[in-house]
Amino acid sequence: MTESESVMHQAWRLIHGKTKPRGSLGKLEALAAQIAAVQGSTAPVMERAALIVFIADHGIAKAGVSAWPQAVTREMARNFLAGGAAATAFARKLDIPVTLVDAGMCEPMAHPQLLDRRMGHGAADFSQGPAMTAAQCETALDHGGKLARETPCDAFCLGEMGIGNTSSAAMLAHKLLGLPLPGLIGPGAGLDAGGVAHKRAVLRKAAARTPARLEPARAMAEYGGFEIAMLAGAMLGAAQSRRLILVDGFIATAAALAALQLEPACRASLVFSHESAEPGHRLMLKAISVEPLLRLELRLGEGTGALLAWPLLRAAGAILSGMASFEDAGVSGKLP
């Protein structure tokens, strides 16, 4: 039995002895045991979260796969910096510090609150060729991992912003899991039926460039985005430093697929926060046998779903660190 398995076994024994009927806190009980196993302690600490938002542009956006022009990536970056985005508003209410990262917008933006980890002027148009080089992909993974390892917190909320990145996410799920491409392609940020049909045609052509299944590093280089590669790297770095990761929606789950294939052991640290309204997200979650915490019909990204799940993670931690046992409270336990 590994250390994590031993701690989880002990955690379950303690959870069953708390002042409640066995199983009455539902999924929170399993979440409490997961937290204990990741931290290696039956008295886990779950007090501080951190939000990191990776921002980058995608060359595929020029093929008309989004309802919004590519300029919106940069405009939304300004909105994040001003605190006006949904994610920054939620983080402010939850008292969660925010780190904003330029992973590769088309145009650089100098700002003291924007971390420069630029990989280039946006990823290339993957309908014509690879989105990035293998070296760029490796560097992006390293940047994300280093940032996660250096950020003080008990759990990460990881978000992204980049016009066209639902196309990247669909392609990654298709190439990593072998899921049929049409079911993974949805409206993204608001395409109508005609727009979705055009998006399918573009991505079908892009998929034909490479073999049906790809290894994770190649899949990200061929079809990913700089922000998605950094997300995957951050997940790996957080798992290596024994922190929990609240996985957001469609884009973040695509990054998680790559992280899981690069390092399957990181699964222990991943908590899938919600099921997006983007139709492909349900298929992705089902393929990796995941039951998310929430279903709120979100489809924004930015880490918003992860932020909304953070109070649940804190509550789960409190089962072990705050609740009394039957013995401690002098409450009669269930008769044998």
DSSP code per residue over 95-130: T--EEEEEEE-SS----TTEEE---SSSB--TTTS-
| Gap between the Cα atoms of 276 and 169, Å rounded | 13
| Gap between the Cα atoms of 308 and 149, Å rounded | 23
Q: Count CA atoms closer than 13 A to 272's CA, side-chain side.
A: 24
Catalytic residues: 302
In 3D space, the residue among 194, 254, 200, 257 whose CA is nearest the CA of residue 227 turns out to be 254
The tokens describing 229, both together, are 């590669």
| Gap between the Cα atoms of 25 and 27, Å rounded | 6
| Gap between the Cα atoms of 136 and 139, Å rounded | 5
